[in-house]
Structure 1
Amino acid sequence: MNRVKSMKNFGAGMLYVGPALLLMIIFIFYPMVKTLYYSFFMTNARGTPVLFVGLENYTELLQSDSFLLSIKATLLFVLNTVPTGIILALFLAIIANEKLKGIDFFRVIFSSTIGVSVAAGSTIWLFIFHPSIGFLNNILTTIGLPAIQWLTDPKWALFSIALTTVWMSVGFNFIILLGGLQNISEELYESALIDGAGYWVRLFKITIPMLTPSLFFVTVVSVINSFQTFGQIDILTKGGPAESTNLIVYSIFQDAFIHYKFGIASAQAMILFVFVLIITIFQFKVGEKKVHYQ
Structure 2
Amino acid sequence: MTTADSVKRKRKFSTGILYLLPALILFTVFLFYPMFRTLYLSFFLTNPKGDPVLFNGFQNYIELFHSKEFLLSLKSSFLFVLCTVIPTIIIALFLAVIANEKLKGSQFFRVAFSSSLGVSSAAAAVIWLFLFDPSIGLTNHILSLFGVQEIGWVTDKHWALFSISVTTIWMHLGFNFIILLGGLQSISEDLYESSKIDGANFFQQFRNITIPMLSPTLFFVTVVAVINSFQSFGQIDIMTKGGPAGATNLIVYSIYQDAFANHYVGSASAQAMILFAIILIFTLLQFKFGERKVHYQ
In the TM superposition, residue 21 of structure 1 has moved relative to its aligned partner by 1.5
Residue 226 (structure 1) aligns with:
229
Query: Alignment partner for residue 61 of structure 1, among 41, 60, 64?
Result: 64
2:242 to 239, 243, 246: 239
Q: 9, 12, 18: which is aligned to 2:12?
A: 9
Structure 1: which 4+ aligned runs deviate by more than 4 Å?
A: none
* Count of equivalent residues: 294
Q: In structure 1, what is the equivalent of residue 77 of structure 2?
A: 74
**Higher mean C-alpha displacement, 191-200 vs 165-174:** 191-200
Please, which of 237, 261, 284 is the counterpart of residue 281 of structure 1?
A: 284
Which of residues 266, 271, 278 is equivalent to 2:269?
266
Shift of residue 2 of structure 1? 2.1
Task: State the secondary structure of the residue aligned to 2:45.
Answer: strand
1:205 has 2:192 as partner:
no
Shift of 1:89: 0.1
Q: Determine the structure 2 residue equivalent to 1:169.
A: 172
Give the corresponding residue for 2:93. 90
Letter in 1 for 2:200: A
TM-score in terms of structure 2 length: 0.98
Q: 2:102 aligned with 1:99, yes or no?
A: yes
Q: Take 1:127 and 1:245, find their aligned partners in 2: how far apart are those partners?
A: 18
Structure 2 unaligned regions, length at least 5 = none
1:180-228 Cα offsets, whole Å, 9 max, x none, are 0000000100110111111110000000110001100000000000000
**Residues 150-169 of structure 1 aligned to structure 2 (within 5 Å):** 150-169=153-172
How well do the aligned residues superpose, as a CA RMSD in angstroms?
Answer: 0.6
- Does residue 1:31 correspond to 2:21, yes or no? no
**TM-aligned CA deviation for residue 12 of structure 1:** 1.7
For 2:112, the aligned partner's letter is I
Name the aligned partner's letter for residue 238 of structure 2. I
1:124 maps to 127
Q: Deviations over 1:28-71 (max 9, x none)?
A: 01000000000000000011100000000000001000000000
CA distance in 2, matches of 1:58, 1:190: 58
1:111 matched to which residue of 2?
Answer: 114
Offset at 1:16? 2.5
What's the TM-score once normalised by structure 1's chain length?
0.99
Superposition deviation, residue 15 in structure 1: 2.6
Q: Distance in 1 between matches of 2:116 and 2:17?
A: 39
